[in-house]
Structure 1
């Protein structure tokens, strides 16, 4: 099996991460502020920078500015891996710019189907709602998964790309106003813990799904007991180790499906929908 290992060196090109976060919407836009997004950006920048990524942060962009940004980023050089994080309010198939206009994810993904990004690993993390349903358990049964929007998103995803959504199609995602989103904060926590950053990407995402699904439970009168289940869509053709430490065992050999699941202490946090 072909492999990519994300190692930092002194060459001109490096692995890059672009963080697009919308926390404050324009005056007159009927979308709530997302104060927890700032916590996510801070933690992502700290975590990814330590792993050798060049991290660029873009806050409160309009829909057209987001399109323009990713069109340019898709043409810039990258060593092995390009990581994009989109954090905003959303619906199935889109996130919203600061101007309240939808940003179609299929269009963003399609930008990266070009020669500059050929044979590069492309990873997208999407922290946004994909609907208004609230998940009472971790066994999600979503009829929206076969919708035209979901199908178009998959078709637009280039080869050697993967998308990890905070939640399943049709469902809401959670964010704490002070502690950030359960999805992105858990992602950072895993990369900071010993051993996880050396996992192959799909195995790391399986760990992420497990931890979010089984250790998070919302509190409160309305949201109490509700869960969140991340959703992975991938067109990877090889194993990818974008966060692995140089010259160390990546832990990719000898892991079975059952070994990816381990017991964590269940935590409850007060979250709002984001």
Structure 2
């Protein structure tokens, strides 16, 4: 039991923070454009996650089979002395539910299904976070300008949780929409995530941090393209899915 039944926070006091795996895709074997600037996201993510004591490993331009192999190997590891797990994917997307590997597309749920509580027991009851930087369609968002005018059983020493509990999945953009990337500065979403996490990890829980990430992406960024007017002055907002049942704090390790 990694955390007490009634605890409002996940236990983040294990010996190790946990693994952070980054799948970076900027070159493709099929007819997809190079994702210029993705290396900037990788560097920023690596820096902030290592600062939080994650054990970071970066994989560049893997094919579908190798991605599944890495995920299954990660799920088979013993995470007993780890706080949590984080997986980030930086790539092109196809519609809402598919991501591009170097060779083919794969379903997005490939990322988290190996880590459900019934399949990865050493991560059961621990937070598992997924960051997905990818387009989820081709729709553009021009935005709108706003103008000011139970019952308890505390006596039990054990308890059950759903297999899909304790997941947090953050998409860089809303379903069906384009996700923006600057070739020299990286993506709006990953750069905002790194900045907000750096500013607030000592005091805010992870879900509040992600709300501020969404705020930063939605308010502070707007596309500029004077060659293709349909892509000019466009907006973006991240999309979060959570089955977390407690708060996640990345307080400094002693």
TM range (shorter): 0.7 to 0.9
* Residue number in structure 2 paired with 1:149: none
Contiguous gaps of at least 5 residues in structure 2:
1-6, 146-162
1: distance between equivalents of 2:214 and 2:78? 30
* Residue number in structure 1 paired with 2:152: none
* Residue number in structure 1 paired with 2:123: 117
Segments ≥4 residues shifted beyond 4 Å = none
TM-score by length of 2: 0.82
- Give how far 1:35 is off: 1.9
C-alpha offsets along residues 139-171 of structure 1, whole Å, 9 cap, x if unaligned?
Answer: 9xxxxxxxxxxxxxxxxx821011000000000
SS of residue matched to 2:99: strand
- Give how far 1:6 is off: 3.6
* Residue number in structure 2 paired with 1:17: 20
SS of residue matched to 1:74: helix
C-alpha offsets along residues 62-120 of structure 1, whole Å, 9 cap, x if unaligned?
Answer: 11111111111122233111000011000211110011x11211232211112132111
The within-5 A match list for 1:128-147 is 128-137=134-143
Is 1:216 aligned to residue 221 of structure 2? yes
Are the counterparts in 2 of residues 109 and 158 from structure 1 also a CA contact under 8 Å?
Answer: no
Q: CA 1:48–1:138 in structure 2 vs 1: closer, same or farther (change >3 Å)?
A: farther
Is 1:236 aligned to residue 244 of structure 2? yes
2: distance between equivalents of 1:56 and 1:33? 22
1: distance between equivalents of 2:144 and 2:66? 36
* Residue number in structure 1 paired with 2:58: 57
* Residue number in structure 2 paired with 1:142: none
SS of residue matched to 1:125: strand
Contiguous gaps of at least 5 residues in structure 1:
140-156, 248-274
SS of residue matched to 1:198: coil
The within-5 A match list for 1:32-181 is 32-78=33-79, 79-91=82-94, 92-99=96-103, 101-113=104-116, 114=119, 115-137=121-143, 158-181=164-187
SS of residue matched to 2:42: helix
Are the counterparts in 2 of residues 138 and 229 from structure 1 also a CA contact under 8 Å?
Answer: no
Q: CA 1:198–1:72 in structure 2 vs 1: closer, same or farther (change >3 Å)?
A: farther
Q: CA 1:138–1:73 in structure 2 vs 1: closer, same or farther (change >3 Å)?
A: farther
